[in-house]
Amino acid sequence: MVIAKPRVKFTYEDYLHTPEDQYYELLDGELIVVPAPGELHQSVSALLGWKLIQFASENRLGRVYHAPFDVVLSDLDVVQPDLIFVSHARAHIITDANIQGAPDLVIEILSPSTAARDKTFKRTLYAMHGVQEYWMVDAIAKTATVLLLGERGFEVVNTYREGEILTSPTLRGFTLNLNEIF
């Protein structure tokens, strides 16, 4: 008879004691080391973040944050999305240390090491915890998929390609020519 070893699940308290020389995420109690992003990822993140910050600030909509900044979804799920938007109406979830709960908008810039997890596990996780809008930005393919939370999870609003104008259901009035970030 083979007895299965119980799987250890880490908690938010365990996560708080991880070494500060690396970035981690806590996904369903599993501690994941997140590698530093490459130049293309950083460039797209900076340009997209700048556009979002400018729009949110000018329109007094809320706050935009860059990774690394913890989003605590549960005691077993702590993520560091590439970009995060929290509306003024939901500003109560922002603390000095992290965001406690689902942001209005989460953006993941897909990297070869994270794309599969971003497209599957994190997509489900964000929907389960009530993130209203999720973007998956593929800097290599030069696309951005905008998803909106529906009754059965995220539904694709549109996949925008290089040269097209992205719009956001959550950030009404926001437009972005993808040529500006790719």
Tokens describing residue 30: 């599993």
Tokens describing residue 2: 């083979």
1 falls in which pLDDT band (50, 70, 90)?
Answer: low
Q: What is the pLDDT of residues 64-92, one digit of tens each?
A: 999 999 999 999 999 999 999 999 999 99
The backbone region for 29, taken as left when phi is positive above 0, alpha when psi lies in -120 to 50, beta otherwise, is left
Rounded to 5 degrees, what are φ and ψ at 127? -65, -45
Asked if residue 134 lies in contact with residue 123, where contact means CB atoms within 8 angstroms, the answer is yes
What pLDDT does 113 receive? 87
Asked if residue 144 lies in contact with residue 109, where contact means CB atoms within 8 angstroms, the answer is no
What pLDDT does 21 receive? 82
d(CA 176, CA 43): 16
What pLDDT does 30 receive? 93
Alpha helices in the chain, H assignment, sequence order: 12-15, 39-58, 115-119, 121-128
In 3-state terms the chain splits into helix, strand, coil percentages (rounded to 5) of 25, 35, 40
Query: Quick check: pTM over 0.85?
Result: yes
Q: What is the pLDDT of residues 97-127, one digit of tens each?
A: 999 999 999 999 999 888 999 999 999 999 9
Please check the confidence at residue 2 and state whether its pLDDT lies above 80. Answer: no
What pLDDT does 6 receive? 64
d(CA 59, CA 52): 11
d(CA 181, CA 82): 14
Please check the confidence at residue 145 and state whether its pLDDT lies above 80. Answer: yes
Percentage above 90 pLDDT, the chain: 90
Q: Which domains does the chain have, with CATH numbers?
A: 36-180 (3.90.1570.10)
Give one DSSP letter per residue of 31-42, joined into a string.
EEEEPPP-HHHH
Q: What is the pLDDT of residues 38-71, one digit of tens each?
A: 999 999 999 999 999 999 999 999 999 999 999 9
What pLDDT does 35 receive? 86
What pLDDT does 151 receive? 93
* β-strand pairing of 175-177 with 165-167: antiparallel
